[in-house]
Amino acid sequence: MKASWKTGISFGLTSGVITTLGLMVGLHSGTHSRAIVISGILTIAIADAMSDALGIHVSEESRNSSPRREVWEATLATFMAKFVIAMTFVVPVAVGPLDRAIVISVAWGLFLLTILSFFVARVQTIQPWKVIGEHLLIALCVVAITHAVGDWVQGVVEAE
């Protein structure tokens, strides 16, 4: 696979999982509203995917070392990976009880990160458990912090 596609897919998948899970968990703990959680996922899938794609585009352009075609390949791969990954989180939220959908979504996101991390470790010829552990720890920190923030916001709003 070309480096431009690897860059876009790996960045888009990672960002798609982390930002979508963070937003979902925070919105769920703050509102317990299916409509708000789905709206958040759709917002991430569109606005954040475009933002990340532009970020990769500008980053690749600023390196000034890749042909224009490869810059656009990385841009497109980032957008598509982020959009598709984020959209996969809509399914459990739309079809099942919201509390269970959040748990399923966290498990799905951690699974995706585990698979990506495994392949990254193989390419770097390092022990997979180190890369997987590092990436899952970061993801779980995001989930825990956004859950706490959602609880805090709900408490502040209820106190008003």
pLDDT for res 44: 95
Cα(8)–Cα(17) distance, integer angstroms: 14
pLDDT in tens, 30-84: 999 999 999 999 999 999 999 999 999 999 899 888 788 988 999 999 999 999 9
Angle between helices 49-63 and 68-88 (to 10 degrees): 160
Please check the confidence at residue 1 and state whether its pLDDT lies above 90. no
Q: What is the mean pLDDT of the chain?
A: 93
Please check the confidence at residue 89 and state whether its pLDDT lies above 80. yes
pLDDT for res 64: 81
Q: CB-based burial of residue 49 (10 Å sphere; 0-12 exposed, 13-18 middle, 19+ buried)?
A: buried
Coil, strand or helix at 96: coil
DSSP code, position 141: H
pLDDT for res 60: 86
Helices and strands in the chain: count of H runs, count of E runs? 7, 0
